[in-house]
Structure 1
Amino acid sequence: MARILAKALNCADINSKGDPCTKCSSCVAIKEGSFVDMIEIDAASNRGIDDIREIKDKIKLAPTMGKNKVYIIDEVHMLTNEAFNALLKTLEEPPKKTTFVLCTTELHKVPDTIKSRCQVYRFKRATMPQLIEKLKEITKSEKIKISEKDLEKIALASLGGFRDAETLLQQVSDGELSVDSLVGMGSKEVYIELTDHLMSGNSGSAIRIISKVYEEGLDLYVWTGEYLRYLREMLFIKSGVKEEVSGATSELLAEMEEQASRLSVGWLLNAMNSILEEHKNIKTSFIPQLPVEMALAKIGGGEELLSGGGSLGIPEAPKQPTTSPGIGKKMPKDEKEEEEKEQEEPEEDAKPEKEKKNTPEDKEETSLITLENLEEKWKEFIKRSRELNHSLTALLKSGKPVNVEGKFVILEVFYPFHKERLESPQNRKLIEKLMSEIYDARLSLKCVLSKEKPKKLKTGESGNLTDLNIAPAEVVFNKDSVLEAFDGGLPLI
């Protein structure tokens, strides 16, 4: 585009619409790269202030071949700040018959002071139909035999760029390679099959598809990214904007719509989130297919994740271990545990089902352990914590348990620093693990600040956290003890 603009500025026979003739000496010279008044600069390799100063020295010279001198600076965002500052004055007051064309793919990296002195034109990405039409013209003129389906894959992989699409087409035709092996994409039919397996909870069949893709030599990073694109298109169909779906025939689109009717939006969001979390790990993983397999194992949750169940596909939490006689009962959270409780308590069978679900007891969370049970083993808990971390023991000694709310042990502390340290992720993990071993229950810690100040235990002493907050004892000077300690005989003043 920059060269076309240079042709228009120097064309000897420009038409009324501003298009160059492409036949005059200037247009031909620009096309052949021999036009001395068009200077192309790669800012990625000529990005310093000295390069800009060299331009400023040469810019004063008048054009020799054409009517205007054109400076094309490609990847202008790569210039240093000093180079941009040196270019400011030139852009603000350029010499007559001189035009600067700054090209960039990352406009946000160009300083505002530069953009304010330029006319900014943003080019949109080419659409799929435009790319496919251009590729068809090339295949027809070059007599390249390739299916329309492969052209669609090339257009999709080029991400809206004509140059990238033409480069991919050249690689396929010259190297006689399959499009799938080159761009690392899979067909939508495979993605439909993969989604069916995940919907039915058949993670094994889904993982076998990944193994086959890896064995065929496809780029798993790209292949998984395209599956994310497929799930995104399924979300479009589910949301009623199927016109956003690209690269699908009418038969394939109908099959996608049928599959989307059996999915919930929650399932799609959960699936996309699981794949996004693992997608970035593919390139750094020792086993490239492992992150993808982990994501598919998370997604394949079974029939309850379909539109009828309305679940997000979040795995069910593991059951609590059996509690000791002194530990309180945990309220049921699923229908299976409700049925077991109903069998143990026959008197509740007479109650209507709706009444049982709406009782206040079901809404409140029963504590996993009583305060009395907690205090019985608290000294043992403090003692065991010393094996894990001495500073953690000191922090625990600085507070006292005052209550138990559900699965949270409420610990009263006197200072915000103690609360912050005890609730840090590292200490919280150690505390929860130790509580699980001692109290045989999944407990966590929650700290509250006391309204009272810690009681002074002795004169000059505050609290019992560490010896750092204890005032030093009064120093008593003893002449004989000093002589004995230092084995000296010098007179002491």
Structure 2
Amino acid sequence: MHMTLYRKYRPKTFEEVAGESDIIKTLKNSLDNNKLAHAYLFNGPRGVGKTTSARLIAKGVNCLKNGISSTPCNECEACREIDRGSFIDLIEIDAASNRGIDEIRELKDKINYQPSKGRKKIYIIDEVHMLTKEAFNALLKTLEEPPEHVIFILATTEPDKILPTIISRCQRYDFKTLSYQEVKNKLSDICEKENIKIDDGSLEIIYETSGGSMRDAISILERVIISNLGESITEESTSKTIGITPKSLLRDFYDIIKRTSLQKGVEFLEKLWIESIDIEKFFKDFAKYIKDETFVGNIEVSQGLKIIGGVFDSLNKFKYEEDKRLLGYVVLNTIINTQKEVKQEIIYREVPVETKSVTDGEETQAKKISITLEDVKSKWNDILKMAKDEKPTYKAFLADAFPMKLQDDELCIGFRENEFSKEQMESDYYNLPFQEIVQKVMNTQLKLSYFFKKDRKIDEKRNENMTKDILAYFSEE
């Protein structure tokens, strides 16, 4: 009978567990020094090793050859039965299916019986947050003072749904999603043992699709292997099997965007349509590709955020449009225009300020701005209206703002109460479009800066970095 890869390669020792080195070290020390708690709470996302770690504790406690140890023999009857899931003193309960008070009362009646084969009875209650309030209350006293021969291990993905009184009676461990390197190492080891050739691009795609869950990653790997039996697994074949857009297509489309070629973009989308590629999903994958390229520094932050914003703004506005090809044209036009704006901004930053020479020996002076702060105040409502039409979020962020000072070619905008709005407006995602609006209304090349009323010096500015820009964008989304 065929055994799935996940079951076949489930860790049989603590050393085989991927990630969570601190948790594993603590559990091993507890076993080696015989300082086990009577109840544990394992919290974390799905597929990161909670139940596996619980079974390893059961094996470490009940190994017949090595005694209570973090290195069970994996050869004795108890170890083999725990691996098979048939050990009589290891009781696994699915709280999603057995969530009522009657099941917990039955459990309480049975825990007083001594173990049949092992040293201790191990009760693993999976998805414990699914228990009813009455069931939790029934379990409470048992968790506080269980018999000496019983260890409870509760596993959950939603600890906030568990009564605080239950949590306080357990030794809690918070498992986290696995890193790419941890998943890659495990998948590479499996492929080597299964004599499968797979490239790094495929492993990266599998990791991203799994969301950091080892169980999901191994399941996806098995699906990819079955789809490519007898063949080397490549990034392209993996993308096709999983149903995501190949990176080669995303790179080609970005090259078109960089050239701001609307015609080439339309031809590209027509090709996707003919090949039955989901246009909406393609653009979501493209936005993720731009995010990844921005993080590694291949794309300027302001440029990447503008493209991502253009994609999701358009997808949002036309989310009910049934003709996805038409939707694709709208998104394409939006991000092409965004790219043109970015190029103009770069040109504006790089072109020197216009100067005029004098022949009488006087120094050359920069061209001065010919407007006053009163001029800006008189048109401030027009600026706010245009900003609100551009992005509805400006209405909230600028509700507290006012023109505070005009200094050379820099307009200082103040915030009376809302410091959060000030911080949002300082990000390129909001500042650059708003700066364009101010320049358009005032018909002059003003630069903007933002200040909270508690700021001590008007000339003091906060340092901006990529992390702040990214967080500002995604918090808005």
Residue 307 and residue 86 in structure 1: after superposition, are their counterparts in 2 closer, same or farther (change >3 A)?
Answer: farther
- Specify the SS of the correspondent of 1:103: strand
Matching residue of 1:195: 254
Return the offset for 1:37.
Answer: 0.9
Deviates more, 1:90-99 or 1:182-191: 182-191
Tell me the distance in 2 between the aligned counterparts of 1:281 and 1:52: 51
Alpha-carbon contact 1:184-1:219 (below 8 Å) kept: no
Tell me the distance in 2 between the aligned counterparts of 1:281 and 1:8: 57
Deviates more, 1:191-200 or 1:358-367: 358-367
- Specify the SS of the correspondent of 1:40: strand
Residue 290 and residue 5 in structure 1: after superposition, are their counterparts in 2 closer, same or farther (change >3 A)?
Answer: farther
- Specify the SS of the correspondent of 2:304: helix
Residue 306 and residue 367 in structure 1: after superposition, are their counterparts in 2 closer, same or farther (change >3 A)?
Answer: closer
Return the offset for 1:54.
Answer: 1.9
Which residue of the other structure, out of 200, 215, 218, is the alignment partner of 1:163?
215
- Specify the SS of the correspondent of 2:147: coil
Return the offset for 1:72.
Answer: 1.0
Tell me the distance in 1 between the aligned counterparts of 2:273 and 2:215: 28
Matching residue of 1:90: 142
Matched, 1:229 2:288: yes
TM-score normalised by structure 1 residue count: 0.54
Cα deviation digits, residues 52-85 of structure 1 (max 9, x gap): 2221222222111111111111122222222222
- Specify the SS of the correspondent of 1:270: helix
- Specify the SS of the correspondent of 2:124: strand
- Counting only pairs closer than 5 Å after superposition, residues 12-51 of structure 1 correspond to structure 2 as 12-14=64-66, 18-51=70-103
The alignment covers a number of residue pairs equal to 306
Deviates more, 1:75-84 or 1:194-203: 194-203
Tell me the distance in 2 between the aligned counterparts of 1:18 and 1:297: 61
- Specify the SS of the correspondent of 1:301: helix
What percent of counterpart residues are identical?
Answer: 37
Alpha-carbon contact 1:203-1:296 (below 8 Å) kept: yes
Tell me the distance in 2 between the aligned counterparts of 1:25 and 1:367: 81
Return the offset for 1:24.
Answer: 1.3
- Specify the SS of the correspondent of 1:300: helix
Matching residue of 2:107: 55
Tell me the distance in 2 between the aligned counterparts of 1:367 and 1:35: 75
Tell me the distance in 1 between the aligned counterparts of 2:68 and 2:147: 26
Return the offset for 1:36.
Answer: 0.9
- Specify the SS of the correspondent of 2:174: coil
Residue 5 and residue 187 in structure 1: after superposition, are their counterparts in 2 closer, same or farther (change >3 A)?
Answer: same
Tell me the distance in 2 between the aligned counterparts of 1:224 and 1:303: 16
Tell me the distance in 2 between the aligned counterparts of 1:105 and 1:68: 26
Greater RCO, 1 or 2 (C-alpha within 8 Å, sep 6+): 2
- Specify the SS of the correspondent of 1:70: strand
Matching residue of 2:376: 363
Letter in 1 for 2:296: I
Which residue of the other structure, out of 118, 133, 145, is the alignment partner of 2:185?
133
Matched, 1:75 2:127: yes
Alpha-carbon contact 2:60-2:68 (below 8 Å) kept: no
Letter in 2 for 1:189: S
Alpha-carbon contact 1:15-1:21 (below 8 Å) kept: no
Matching residue of 1:176: 228
Letter in 2 for 1:46: N
Residue 172 and residue 57 in structure 1: after superposition, are their counterparts in 2 closer, same or farther (change >3 A)?
Answer: same
Tell me the distance in 2 between the aligned counterparts of 1:198 and 1:165: 33
- Specify the SS of the correspondent of 1:163: helix
Matching residue of 1:11: 63
Tell me the distance in 1 between the aligned counterparts of 2:318 and 2:157: 27
- Counting only pairs closer than 5 Å after superposition, residues 4-403 of structure 1 correspond to structure 2 as 4-14=56-66, 18-176=70-228, 178-203=237-262, 205-206=264-265, 208-210=267-269, 212-213=271-272, 216=275, 223-238=282-297, 257=298, 260=299, 263=300, 265-277=301-313, 286-287=322-323, 294-306=330-342, 309=345, 354=367, 357-359=370-372, 362-365=375-378
Return the offset for 1:13.
Answer: 3.1
Letter in 1 for 2:77: S
TM-score normalised by structure 2 residue count: 0.56
> Runs of 5+ in structure 2 lacking a partner?
1-51, 230-236, 348-364, 383-477
Return the offset for 1:162.
Answer: 1.7
Return the offset for 1:304.
Answer: 3.8
Residue 231 and residue 33 in structure 1: after superposition, are their counterparts in 2 closer, same or farther (change >3 A)?
Answer: same
Return the offset for 1:185.
Answer: 2.4
Letter in 2 for 1:96: E
Alpha-carbon contact 1:43-1:75 (below 8 Å) kept: yes
- Specify the SS of the correspondent of 2:204: helix
> Runs of 5+ in structure 1 lacking a partner?
239-256, 312-351, 370-493
Tell me the distance in 1 between the aligned counterparts of 2:187 and 2:318: 32
